[in-house]
Amino acid sequence: MKKTLFTRFLDAVETGGNKLPHPVTLFALFGVAVILISGIASWFDLSVVDPRPEGARGRAADGMITVVNLLSADGFRRLVEGFVTNFTGFVPLGTVLVAMLGVGVAEHSGLLTASIRGLVVRVATGGRSARVLVTATLVFAGIMSNLASEMGYVVLVPLGGLVFYALGRHPLAGMAAAFAGTSGGYSANLLLGTVDPLLAGITQESARLLDPAYVVHPAVNYYFMFVSTFLITGLGTWVSERVVEPKLGPYDASMAGDTLPATTIEQPTELERKGLRWAGISVLITTLVTALMVVPEWGILRDPVTKDVLNSPFLRGLVFLIFAFFLIPGAVYGRITGSMRNDEGIIKGMSQSMSGLGLYIVLVFFAAQFVALFGWSNLGPIIAVKGAQFLQAIGLTGPEMFVPFILICAFINLFMGSASAKWAILAPVFVPMLMLLGYSPEVTQAAFRIGDSTTNIITPMMSYFGLILAFANKYDKNLGIGTIISMMLPYTIFFLVGWTILFLLWVFGLGLPVGPGAPTYL
């Protein structure tokens, strides 16, 4: 059968992605490349006029930014001396580790799994629930499941197939809806998750290439991501109901062979429901206590001098609050259900969450070295200045500039699954570049998150793509990667278009901030 142009494109994406080295290796190679390029650029005396205010870091007496030669004895000495501190001082490392300690308790206790299962099952078995509500709940639960790291992939996606199958609908449509919310809507959420401090840390490091005092807190995209939750839920539901499920047609159980799962949807037990109630009460109490420390003018988490909330310990300490809002209800749920009876269970949950971060820590180690080398070399500011001058020369400096930027991020995401790996590469270039054009790092980060999320569901490079394929094979033993990609492609198209329109309308049409204390322009 002759392949279409689009099919050949997807084959090329898969082949090219498979040939890429591991992200850890990529960062190591990027670090070496920075050293070599800095040496060559230094030989040619590469420099630009420094656009930063007088006294800013790296400004020479002659007002120029000149490339620093790292391919030298001085460069090697600097690398050797900073090898450890580059890693330990890398902002995303500490923020993610602290947040995951709390998430680990909630995950180990069973709270996250029970919450996701209870939300979907209750709607699906309500009897009077509309058909569309079941689909919308799966998409929404997928978006919210991002708080629980891989729980959405491991629990919700197979549950979506089981729910649809039990209701007489095509199980792959249920899996597609859950997968679209979990992966395609990765950056949308009603609450802050571990990805927020991770990206904010990288954004801050990149912004400081131009402004050494610039601070980016984890909630800088919260307003936009909160609203995006409803957009992605609506789009995901519409695509599932009007495009994906009609295309799949009626389900033929013979496609599964002997692998067809049982149709019973497991309800939360009475003990689990009791645990969820008490966990909910603990969240309410924690929220009230936090509000007492923030809302009143005398709140201890306000700025002690100005009494400001935007620039306060509250926002700068959001990682601690994320830690607490997972730890406390997780411990309460574990105590009620007996899954964690004492402090040993809590410690075990924390330990397990850390043991699963081994690859991330290795990745961060090499990413931190690359970011440090890139900063030392002055290549970032020089590329940013040159890039800004190019955009100004061709007249591409308005809001429309963010459309190709989002598309670039979406395209790169086809080859690299890790959000932090991509942003660590893109941020040192695009954040300073757009700062020079007058756009804030917070807005640039929000645009990146759109491109980073929307193509997750069509790339085999996504780490859980193989797991999704394995789940789907239970309902169709002959199903392949092409079927999954073609099934999920409509979500990518509608998410990418709809989310980009919302971004442009929200930021530039209505002039609304993407988050608290997050200006659009500098």
Please check whether residue 515 lies inside any domain of the structure.
Answer: no
* Three-state secondary structure readout of 436-452: HCCECHHHHHHHHHHHH
Please check whether residue 193 lies inside any domain of the structure.
Answer: yes
Q: Kindly report the number of other CB atoms within 10 A of residue 355's CB atom.
A: 9
Please check whether residue 320 lies inside any domain of the structure.
Answer: yes
Mean of per-residue pLDDT scores for the chain: 81
Instruction: Name the pairing type of β-strands 47-49 and 64-66.
Output: antiparallel
**143 phi/psi in degrees, rounded to 5:** -60, -45
pLDDT, residue 128, reads 45
DSSP letter (8 states) at residue 241:
I
pLDDT tens figures, 188-209: 888 877 678 878 888 998 898 8
Please check whether residue 516 lies inside any domain of the structure.
Answer: no
Residue 55 pLDDT level (bands cut at 50, 70, 90):
very low
pLDDT surpassing 70 at residue 148: no
Listed residue (130, 144, 226) closest to 181, CA to CA: 144
Residue 58 pLDDT level (bands cut at 50, 70, 90):
very low
CA distances 211 to 40, 58, 230, 383, Å, are: 26, 10, 35, 16
Please check whether residue 519 lies inside any domain of the structure.
Answer: no
Percent of the chain residues past pLDDT 70, beyond the cut:
82
d(CA 378, CA 65): 7
Cβ distance 487 to 244 under 8 Å?
yes
433-454: average pLDDT: 92
415-418-422-428 Cα dihedral, nearest 10 degrees? -160
Q: Which domain holds residue 320?
A: 5-509
pLDDT, residue 228, reads 95
Please check whether residue 488 lies inside any domain of the structure.
Answer: yes
pLDDT surpassing 70 at residue 372: yes
pLDDT, residue 449, reads 93
Please check whether residue 518 lies inside any domain of the structure.
Answer: no
Residue 466 pLDDT level (bands cut at 50, 70, 90):
low
List alpha helices for 378-440, DSSP H: 379-394, 402-413, 419-436
Number of domains in the chain: 1
Residue 395 pLDDT level (bands cut at 50, 70, 90):
confident
In the structure encoding, which two tokens stand for residue 397, read together? Answer: 């400096």
Task: Give the range among 8-22, 266-280, 326-340 with minimum mean pLDDT.
Answer: 8-22
Tokens 């997050």 -> residue? 518
Q: Is 197 exposed, middle or buried (0-12, 13-18, 19+ CB in 10 A)?
A: buried
CA distances 7 to 252, 374, 480, 486, 494, Å, are: 26, 38, 13, 9, 19
CA distances 51 to 57, 257, 280, 472, Å, are: 12, 66, 51, 54
The H or E element containing residue 49 is strand 47-49
Cβ distance 390 to 50 under 8 Å?
no
pLDDT surpassing 60 at residue 434: yes
Amino acid in position 484:
I
Tokens 């049409």 -> residue? 509
